[in-house]
Chain A
Amino acid sequence: MSVNASAAACIGVERRGRSALALRFAGNASRWLWVMATAAAFLAAAGTASWAFSGFPQPLAGYLWRLGAFCLVAFSVAEYVLALACWRRFGRDEPMRWAWLLITLAAGSRAAGLVVVSLRSGFEIGRDALAQGSVAQTAAAAGLSSAFANPLALALLAGGLLAALRACGQAGVLRRPSAFEMASLMVLMLFMAGRFVAILRSPSASAGLPGLVQGINASVYPLMGLLLVLAVMLREPVQQMGDGLIGRCWGGYIAAIFFTAVASMGNWATSAGYMPWQYGFVNSAGWLLAALAFALAPAHQLEAAVRARHPWLRSS
């Protein structure tokens, strides 16, 4: 950064009484998330390379499992903090405030669920269950789903995206989905609804409170269908603002929903026996990419708001 920009930074701190370091961090939030993701990928690659030389897979599985769980928790906590910062940047009567409030609550519920599950399992979410085979994999997938893509977080996210779409309508950047898009989404929603009904009617469905929890967890499928519809509707505003920070923000949510849907279907395919449980790492990668995209989305929004209000950050 130039000397002038540094001087302006100091003046900004004196005048506003805020930390220039914190503002600079917020102005480059996405960069830090990418650094984190790159470091995690490097650590994973290094672990795999060391396994290739030692030829002993058991420690590697534990290492990768803990690294993945740690990344999931870190990304979800970062997402919550960044979404909270975005929400605070909107005034009381602004249309996007509601959207960011609901998105923040969704991120908070997801982060809380993941932190609790991680602490209970010692950062080895579902690892033992996975190691025991395909039957246990069902339980692991269900546990992971309920912790990460739990229905509460998805429902709140859907509410947030609906509020955002309403604001997009006010700003004149929304259009109706095409007939092809609607038809594809209807098929997908029918599949999701079918999954929901199948789980509720399955012979293994429990009665009482466990059955209720099972039913609530099963509502993840119709909610995912709804989120996919919302993601398709968000595509238009994202296309119009594609190369801007705001476009990247909502594009991040579209990517996150897509990865969550893929990982959810992967979990279903594994539990139904369509995919060997040994390929569960593909599902894990899907969850990790979804977590990264979920965290990047508010990071871009925060960058845009902070850089707009603090011109000295635009050069950095």
Chain B
Amino acid sequence: MLTSLKGLTRRLLRSFGHPSYTELVDWLAGELDGPVLGSTTRHVLSCHACQRETKRIKSVLERSSAVLDWEAAPPPPQRAAGRLPGLLRNAAVIRIAEERHRQERALRLAAALRPYLGQRPMSLLEHLGSSGFLPEVGRLAGVFLGRQAAAALIDTPDWQDAGSEGMS
């Protein structure tokens, strides 16, 4: 009876008493000390799940540091030339994604302003495109709704600059 109770307690402690992910990372990096270091070491040595987790963390850290080393080191000319198309392609993809994000934000803003300014924000968006839309619609909302009300509707930091320029 006593033996089975001890076993149950051990199993429960094992299932609920695992060190956290952060503690395991700190333990691997050697940044734990005192009683936490002792208990974590004892637990990892006795727990198969935590040993597996530790190995996984270790491999991720190694991969990350390898990538960092590769990025930081000046690559040889052949490798740099090989990387160039990829980098350019990434930059183009990022630019497209940014433009799409800006357009979606402008559309959302025009829809949010419609109960107040009617179709005017949407026609501004059609005429100016998403790049010139934000300062212009900010000025429009600032003039007719008041600066504070407009700021409550258009709460983007880049409008705050555009809006203050439009007001002056």
Q: Do the two shown chains form a genuine complex with each other?
A: yes
Q: Identify the A interface with B (CB < 8 A).
A: 89-91, 93-96, 167-168, 170-173, 240-247, 304-305, 307-309, 311, 314
Question: B119: shortest Cβ distance to chain A, in Å?
Answer: 7
A96 engages B119 (CB within 8 Å): no
A244 engages B115 (CB within 8 Å): yes
16 contacts between A and B (CB under 8 A): A89-B146, A91-B147, A94-B143, A170-B143, A171-B139, A171-B140, A171-B143, A172-B136, A240-B118, A241-B120, A244-B119, A246-B117, A246-B144, A305-B146, A308-B149, A308-B152
B153 engages A308 (CB within 8 Å): yes
Q: Is B116 an interface residue (CB 8 A)?
A: yes
Within 8 A of A (CB), among B122-168: 123, 136, 139-140, 142-150, 152-153, 167
Within 8 A of A (CB), among B95-124: 113-120, 123
In Å, the complex CA distance between A309 and B153 comes to 7
A247 engages B139 (CB within 8 Å): no
A94 engages B167 (CB within 8 Å): yes
Contact partner, A240, options B114, B120, B147, B152, Cβ 8 Å: B120
A-B contacts besides A244-B116, A308-B116, A308-B145, 7 pairs, CB < 8 Å: A89-B148, A89-B149, A95-B143, A96-B143, A167-B143, A244-B119, A314-B115
**Dominant secondary structure of chain A at its interface with chain B:** helix
B120 to chain A: which residues have CB within 8 Å? Answer: 173, 240-241, 244
B148 engages A91 (CB within 8 Å): yes
In Å, the complex CA distance between A171 and B118 comes to 15
From A95, A170, A304, A308, residue with most partner B Cβ within 10 Å: A308
A172 to chain B: which residues have CB within 8 Å? Answer: 136, 139-140
**Dominant secondary structure of chain B at its interface with chain A:** helix
A96 engages B147 (CB within 8 Å): no
Q: Identify the B interface with A (CB < 8 A).
A: 113-120, 123, 136, 139-140, 142-150, 152-153, 167
In Å, the complex CA distance between A300 and B167 comes to 23
B149 to chain A: which residues have CB within 8 Å? Answer: 89, 304-305, 308-309
A244 engages B143 (CB within 8 Å): no
In Å, the complex CA distance between A168 and B152 comes to 21
Question: A17: shortest Cβ distance to chain B, in Å?
Answer: 17
B167 to chain A: which residues have CB within 8 Å? Answer: 93-94
Top 4 nearest A-B pairs by Cβ distance?
A: A244-B118, A308-B149, A241-B118, A171-B143
Given contacts A173-B120, A241-B119, contact A305 B140 (CB under 8 A): no
Contact partner, A309, options B119, B123, B148, Cβ 8 Å: B148
In Å, the complex CA distance between A91 and B146 comes to 7
B115 engages A245 (CB within 8 Å): yes
In Å, the complex CA distance between A168 and B120 comes to 13
In Å, the complex CA distance between A93 and B142 comes to 12
A94 engages B119 (CB within 8 Å): no
Contact partner, B118, options A94, A167, A247, A305, Cβ 8 Å: A247
In Å, the complex CA distance between A167 and B119 comes to 19
B145 engages A305 (CB within 8 Å): yes
A308 engages B150 (CB within 8 Å): yes
Question: B84: shortest Cβ distance to chain A, in Å?
Answer: 45
In Å, the complex CA distance between A305 and B114 comes to 14
In Å, the complex CA distance between A172 and B144 comes to 12
Residue of A nearest to B142 (CB): A94
Given contacts A305-B149, A308-B153, A309-B152, contact A171 B119 (CB under 8 A): no
B115 to chain A: which residues have CB within 8 Å? Answer: 244-245, 304, 307, 314
Question: A268: shortest Cβ distance to chain B, in Å?
Answer: 36
A244 to chain B: which residues have CB within 8 Å? Answer: 113-120
Question: A136: shortest Cβ distance to chain B, in Å?
Answer: 46
Residue of A nearest to B144 (CB): A246
In Å, the complex CA distance between A167 and B152 comes to 21
